[in-house]
Amino acid sequence: MHLEPVIEGEATFAGWSGACSGTAACDLAPGVDVSVAATFTPGKPRHLQVSLNGGGTVRSDPAGIDCPRTCSADFPPGTAVRLEASAPAGWDFAGFGGACSGPSCTLTLSNDVSAWATFVQRPVNLAVQVSGSGSVLSRPAGIDCPRICSATFNAGSDVSLTATPAAGFSFRAFSGACSGGNCALHLSADTRVEAAFAAIPTFKVVVVAGGTGRGRVMSVPAGIDCPGTCEGSFAEGTALALSASPDALSKFSRWSGSCSGAACTLALKADAAAGAEFEQRRYVAMDLGTTPGAYWSISAGISPHGTLITGKGGYPSQAFLWDGTMRAIGPSGGEAAAVNDSGTVVGSYPTSSGAWHAFRWKDGTMTDLVTLGGSGSWAYGVNTDGIVVGSALRADGIGRAAYWNSKGTVVDLGSLGGGWNACSSASGINSKGVIVGQSCSDSGTRPVRFREPGVIDDLGTFGGSWGMAAAINDAGVIVGAASYASGAYHGFMYADGKLTDAGSLPGMTYSQLLAVNGSSVAVGTSFDGPQRAVIYGAGRMIDLNTLVDGTPYNLTIANGIDEAGNIVAQGWDRGYSRVLLLRPR
């Protein structure tokens, strides 16, 4: 018998075994039982490459592929290989690609091939429920409850939730998939979380402002502004601070009720009530006496600082300066009008010709201030820089508002009127050089402000034809008096373009304000028969006689007030006139 191997495809003949051997043809003699085996070997192995998209595993049958650990293997040509894909929790198998497509893959390897398996994460739902008032936000974004309280995230996502209470509420706790004050989640399945908010208890705070004075009480945080809003509700635990501010004529005395002493701070754990007591500011009067040999004195003004006081006294009258001691200054018959912090006194005196001249006195030296070509001049005010204001006659006999600089040069400030109606006078000046006074005009005598020579502001009246501005502080607040159509006149305070009627004392028709300090507290007089010195501030006019302790004198007029609130006033007792210094208690 003759045997020959037949080779198909890429296989090769490896040889005989048994009754034949070698690789050549095999001849056998008949008549004897024999066994022969022919061995063939396949061709070049085929390479299979597997890739993964996403999370999952792929294994092969027959064994060889176990991806992601072993993702490539060689198989004999023609091998039938089946690939099986497995998705982990939270993922889904989306299908094969490459040499296979669809949900399953069986390959007969005739060539090198590659395939891939795609896995996608399965979305999970996170739901948040809010009780009370507040918001919950997620990171990464998705939850913005109460607007968006449910969102999907990829399985395996790490999500944190933050709770923010609304005003008046506090955050209590998370519950459900989280507990306590924090919430950090690793999402592997649909999840539900609750966030609880609770209203913060509130307590009522009542403020009562009382006493003989007036003032304002305010709270931090805001809520109380008394008078007006004198009670408010605040959340439990609020650190509430109350501040008391007296008006210009009062001082704060004390707290009472839930507060005590000079300060009031409450940590609210219950309703509270506090009393704020304000006292009307009172004064102690000091009689400054007279110059040696005199029996009377009359006040004129006080310096802004340093408590220097000037006026006149004696017979014949003579200007004085009080700096702790009453000293006569200037010529016989002279009258002082004002004094500054450096002790410069200004006023007027009669010359030997009988005409009056303005003067400036400093450290024992008196300087005559020139006129505007006429016979007379008068000084009524002086500022920190020593600039003097008043009036001076021109050669035509018309009196004009004027100022004298430190060298004594006189400057005409002008008038609202013209011709023979061109009179004017200056009464006061502040440290910024703004001057006030009065000016003739076609509609009468007007209170005015001189911003510079010839630049004049008419401050107006209360409908009448007369007015005068007496003083101005450094903030530009002006005081004086202005008339009504009836002829009666009242003191005024002018600020921010508005003329405010200061009124008069009850039962009196007339009043004037003559001086004002930096706190916009003014002094002056009110009269209609009896005359009384007054103080004005915070919209109130008060008789100074009701506020002064320890004096037998009747106070008729107050001429000056300094930055510390000291007042110089005129007092009368049994026909005697005295200058009084009123010091605030």
For 294-344, write each residue's pLDDT tens digit: 889 999 999 999 999 999 998 788 999 999 999 999 788 999 999 999 999
Q: What is the mean pLDDT of residues 487-504?
A: 98
Q: What is the mean pLDDT of residues 231-245?
A: 95
Mean pLDDT over all residues of the chain? 94
Q: Are 402 and 437 in contact (CB under 8 A)?
A: no
Share of residues in the chain with pLDDT > 90 (%): 84
For residue 308, what are its two tokens? Answer: 């220097």
Q: Are 231 and 275 in contact (CB under 8 A)?
A: no
Q: Is residue 146 classed exposed, middle or buried when 0-12, 13-18 and 19+ CB atoms within 10 A define those classes?
A: middle
The Cα 266–Cα 176 span in angstroms is 39
Q: What is the pLDDT of residues 554-574, one digit of tens each?
A: 999 999 999 999 999 999 987
Q: How confident is the model at residue 121 (pLDDT cuts 50, 70, 90)?
A: confident
Omega within 30 of 0 (cis) for the link into 221: yes
Strands 46-53 and 113-121: parallel
Query: Range with the lowest mean pLDDT among 17-26, 27-36, 357-366?
Result: 27-36
Q: Are 344 and 386 in contact (CB under 8 A)?
A: yes
Omega within 30 of 0 (cis) for the link into 62: yes
Q: What is the mean pLDDT of residues 14-30?
A: 82
Q: How many whole angstroms from its chain centre is CA 428?
A: 36
Q: Are 311 and 320 in contact (CB under 8 A)?
A: yes
The Cα 152–Cα 497 span in angstroms is 66
* DSSP calls for 49-60: EEEEESS-EEEE
- Strand stretches in 430-509, DSSP E: 435-441, 444-452, 455-458, 463-472, 478-484, 489-495, 498-503
**Among the listed residues 571, 453, 447, the one whose alpha carbon sits nearest the alpha carbon of residue 514:** 447
Could you tell me which residues are beta bridge partners of residue 84?
A: 59
- More confident site: 291 or 13: 291
Q: Are 561 and 517 in contact (CB under 8 A)?
A: yes
**Among the listed residues 182, 132, 133, the one whose alpha carbon sits nearest the alpha carbon of residue 159:** 182
Q: How many CB atoms lie within 10 A of CB 293?
A: 9
The Cα 546–Cα 507 span in angstroms is 16
The Cα 193–Cα 178 span in angstroms is 6
pLDDT over 70 (residue 456): yes
Q: What is the pLDDT of residues 108-120, one digit of tens each?
A: 999 999 999 999 9
Strands 123-131 and 191-199: parallel
pLDDT at residue 11, as a whole number: 63
- More confident site: 122 or 557: 557
Please give the domain boundaries of the chain with CATH numbers for all domains: 2-41 (no CATH), 46-121 (2.60.40), 123-199 (no CATH), 202-281 (2.60.40), 284-584 (2.120.10.30)
The Cα 554–Cα 533 span in angstroms is 9
Query: Range with the lowest mean pLDDT among 27-36, 95-104, 452-461, 495-504?
Result: 27-36
Q: Give 387's contacts (C-beta < 8 A, 6+ positions apart).
A: 403, 404, 405, 406, 429, 433
